[in-house]
Structure 1
Amino acid sequence: MMYEDETGYKKGKIQKRKIVETEIFSVDKRIKIISEIFAITEKKGEEST
């Protein structure tokens, strides 16, 4: 019984870590997308002048 509780606790810890990792990844992705859009708009601004 004690062993089951131990593995259940560890499983929950791993799941929490996975959620945090995916959140960090999505933030990085968003920053990359935003910076790419910004670079495109900067180029368009240069072309018009």
Structure 2
Amino acid sequence: MNSFTSAALAIAMIAAFLLMIGGIRLLRAPQTRSRGWLMLAAALVLVMNVMIWTM
């Protein structure tokens, strides 16, 4: 794995972590609950992509 791939995977994991935090914050308000679920789903997709690429 070259350095660009490693950096891309690290950035994807940081983005997934931030999406999880933002999604949890949005889930608390009733008006933005659907956006929170979408952010959590996007975080899950990013984590699964990183898992696939590291196998």
TM-score w.r.t. structure 2 length? 0.49
Identity value in percent:
7
2:8 and 2:29 map into 1 onto residues whose CA distance is 32
Instruction: Give the ranges of 4+ consecutive aligned residues of structure 1 lying more than 4 Å apart after TM superposition.
Output: none
Please identify the structure whose Cα radius of gyration is greater. 1
One-letter code aligned to 1:22: S
Unaligned runs of 5+ in 1: 1-19
TM-score w.r.t. structure 1 length? 0.54
- Cα deviation 1:1-49 (Å, max 9, x = unaligned): xxxxxxxxxxxxxxxxxxx711100000000000110010000001223
Unaligned runs of 5+ in 2: 31-55
Q: Match of 1:28?
A: 9
